[in-house]
């Protein structure tokens, strides 16, 4: 089982739609959670952190469910410019005391006119 799992998609949605992605993680000791966005053939960029209480940034809402070990990203009123791959990232403390980031393979979103 992968440490961080995402549905690869693609999710094809019309402009203005609401779309949600989930990501599951296997390590219950994971500490912090993030969503990164990656445009086609570009570098990943941090979209938002995910907090236990949930957090919102404009049209984007991120939620964390520690009991079920998943995080979600909700995008409201989708824009063409939201078309990208969304990477789920989990931070975990290892036995060595070092922290490590584990990236999911991403969910591709295609917003259509």
Partner 1 sequence: NAGVTQTPKFQVLKTGQSMTLQCAQDMNHNSMYWYRQDPGMGLRLIYYSASEGTTDKGEVPNGYNVSRLNKREFSLRLESAAPSQTSVYFCASSEEGDLWEKLFFGSGTQLSVL
Site residues (vs partner 1, CB under 8 A): 4, 8, 32, 34, 41-46, 49, 87, 89, 91, 98-106
Min dist. Cβ of residue 44 to partner 1 (A): 6
Q: Which is nearer to partner 1, 78 or 104 (CB)?
A: 104
Q: Which is nearer to partner 1, 19 or 108 (CB)?
A: 108
Instruction: Take residue 52 and report the two structure tokens written for it.
Output: 């236990």
Q: Which is nearer to partner 1, 38 or 76 (CB)?
A: 38
Count CA atoms within 13 Å of residue 13 on its CB side. Answer: 22
Min dist. Cβ of residue 53 to partner 1 (A): 17
Min dist. Cβ of residue 14 to partner 1 (A): 27
Q: Are 4 and 90 in contact (CB under 8 A)?
A: yes
Per DSSP, the residues of 14-72 read ETT--EEEEEEES-TTEEEEEEEEE-TTS-EEEEEEE-TT-EEETTEEEEEETTTTEEE
């Amino acid at each position: 089982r992968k440490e961080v799992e995402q549905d690869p998609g693609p999710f094809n949605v019309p402009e203005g739609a609401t779309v949600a992605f989930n990501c599951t993680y296997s390590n219950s000791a994971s500490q912090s959670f993030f969503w990164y966005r990656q445009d086609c053939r570009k570098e990943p960029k941090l979209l938002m952190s995910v907090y236990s209480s949930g957090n919102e940034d404009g049209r984007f809402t991120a939620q964390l469910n520690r009991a079920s070990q998943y995080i979600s990203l909700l995008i409201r009123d989708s824009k063409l410019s939201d078309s990208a791959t969304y990477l789920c990232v989990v931070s975990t403390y290892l036995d060595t005391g070092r922290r490590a980031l584990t990236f999911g393979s991403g969910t591709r979103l295609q917003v259509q006119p």
